[in-house]
Amino acid sequence: MLVLLLLLSDASCALWPADPATAAYTALRENRLDAAVSAFQQALPCNPANARLRKDFAYALLRTGDRLSARRQFEEALSLDPSDESTALECAFLSFETGRPREARRLFLRLKESKDPQIRARAASAFEGVDEPLRTAIARWQEALRRAPGQWSAHEELARLAEKRDELALAAQHFEEAWRRRPGNTDLLLDLARVWNEQGEAGKARAALVTAWRIGSPRTAETARELMSGTPPGAAELALVQPKSTSEESDAPVFEAKEMGARSLENSYLHDALKYLTQAYQQNPNDAEVLYQLGVTNNMLHRDTEALQWFALARRSDNAAIAPKAAQAYSALRATRPGLHFGAWFVPLYSSRWNDPFLYTQATLEYRLGRTSLTPYLSLRFLGDTRSGTKYNPYTYLSETSIIGAVGLKTRLFPRAYGWFEAGEAVNYLGRRPNAGLATPDYRGGLAWSKGWGRLLGSPESGWFTETALDGVYLHRHRDDMILYAQTQLGYTIAKDRRDRQVMAYWNFNLTTDRLGASWANFAEFGPGFRVRLPGMPRGMVLRYDILYGKYTRPATRRNPGYWDVRTGLWYALSR
């Protein structure tokens, strides 16, 4: 057959009374356009690789007004000679004029870097003429969706504009959203498959085509089959697709429930996320990621009881990446639940500078109201050491040597910051003190803020971190003083191993000052430190070891105000 075609082609060239190319140019000079077009059509089979001939044929077609055929000939000429920038420029203009702005934009963008200043200038101007309306329209539709996110047609329009501008990720996102909101429009699956293919997402594109083949209209199904190169989907692929529905607004099949749930959650379509993630949980009840996402979704829907249940399941999973996040979310959510809550923190430590153990601890019983950030509570504190009784000076030894009972009120001011105030009585436990065993009125309050960045304790991955805590504490019993603390650690976290061991190495930067300017309360400290978690430790417990060099910023004497201190201690916090 090929030989026959070649013979016929040669015969057609031989039957032409003269060289068809020569005849074409002669007719063109004599302005006999129809004859020139006919001659070019005869000449091309004889010279299929002649880029110049195709280019001149394209100009002849332009003179006849046939822009579509001219564009096709310019495209053929450009494929034969990609370096011909004049052909590329003509092709770009004709692409735009014949409804192919995406191809035009690509060519203009390329020609903006031309070494020919005239071509470069024309391409830059033309590129802006194509690109600016697309940019403006995309921004306009994005704003429309921010104001009214439920418009499926707006998602579709935005997707088509983004595809024309080669913003494929944006196009895929909104084609998918348009189809999810209007599942009866299965042509959108073909658009989605096309964009995913261009992104290199062959698996996802295939899934979209399988879905279109299974539930689409006969025309859509046939198109999908052709795009799959006639290869029918396998049983495993069909298992992900639900039977065809006759209702346009019915639930659409999903490529995979877990994936669609995650995408819906990411885009804040919470009810859809709940539906898909519930399906994913039914398919695999042990998927920790799905459990955690169900917790997040229910929390965002203000279904806190259900959210706590999902977080509780996720935090008990073996997934090292999910369990810590779920545990943190569980604790944070539970802390906001209305009703009675018990909390406590416990910090025993030993200071080499004072050669003395210290113990700081507080237990609280709170009643959270739920509709307000105000939380009343009962508090019992212990702030003491073993040696302060040798000389009464609670400031010098960083110890009040007291048990303090109080009634308090705290409130959240903004994320990670809260204020508190409490009134009670302090009882000194050291019998050698003048006021030992006597109750002293105690009023105190403060502001606190803390924030961590990077790989913090419990992280399944290694990496850098920093933590900062700022505290201000008012003490009426101590001359109405106000003490300010700033503590920052900058360091590196080693990933938690299978036995739950973890180490954080860091550098301390501590600064303390007070309102009265007392020498004991104004100092700066810095030095290395470690935090360690060991197997068997309860959640919320960590060992800490710090080597600090300190210097008083307002020394009471002229002697060298510097000091060294090695502190070893334990931090433990719990809530119920």
pLDDT at 79: 87
Q: How far apart are CA 178 and CA 165, in angstroms?
A: 18
Residue 438 forms part of a structural domain:
yes
- Mark whether 189 and 122 lie in a shared domain: no
pLDDT at 232: 57
* Mean pLDDT computed over 396-403: 70
Residue 61 forms part of a structural domain:
yes
Non-local (6+) Cβ contacts of 94 within 8 A are 67, 70, 71, 74
- Mark whether 93 and 207 lie in a shared domain: no
**Domain boundary residue, one of 198, 230, 255:** 255
- Mark whether 40 and 123 lie in a shared domain: yes
The SS3 call for residue 518 is coil
- Mark whether 455 and 372 lie in a shared domain: yes
Phi, psi of 387 (to 5 degrees): -120, -5
Lowest mean pLDDT among 406-415, 490-499, 522-531: 490-499
* Mean pLDDT computed over 409-430: 86
The SS3 call for residue 201 is coil
pLDDT band at 513 (very low <50, low <70, confident <90, very high): very high
Q: What is the CATH number of the domain that holds 502?
A: 2.40.160
- Mark whether 355 and 251 lie in a shared domain: no
Q: How far apart are CA 333 and CA 327, in angstroms?
A: 10
Residue 455 forms part of a structural domain:
yes
Say how many C-beta atoms besides its own lie within 10 A of residue 152's C-beta: 17
pLDDT at 557: 65
- Mark whether 56 and 126 lie in a shared domain: yes
pLDDT at 277: 86
Structural domains of the chain, count: 3
- Bridge partners of 572? 346, 541
Residue 27 forms part of a structural domain:
yes
- Read off the pTM: 0.47
Q: How far apart are CA 552 and CA 565, in angstroms?
A: 13
Tens digits of per-residue pLDDT, 187-220?
Answer: 888 888 899 988 888 888 888 888 887 777 778 8
- Mark whether 51 and 184 lie in a shared domain: no
- Mark whether 86 and 203 lie in a shared domain: no
Q: In the chain, what is the straight-line distance between the N-terminal and C-terminal CA atoms, in Å?
A: 85
- Mark whether 437 and 521 lie in a shared domain: yes
Q: Give residue 456's domain range.
A: 339-575
More confident: 191 or 495: 191
pLDDT at 16: 43
Is residue 9 pLDDT above 70, yes or no? Answer: no
- Mark whether 423 and 560 lie in a shared domain: yes
In sign, the C-alpha dihedral spanning 112, 113, 114, 115 is: positive
Residue 213 forms part of a structural domain:
yes
pLDDT at 267: 63
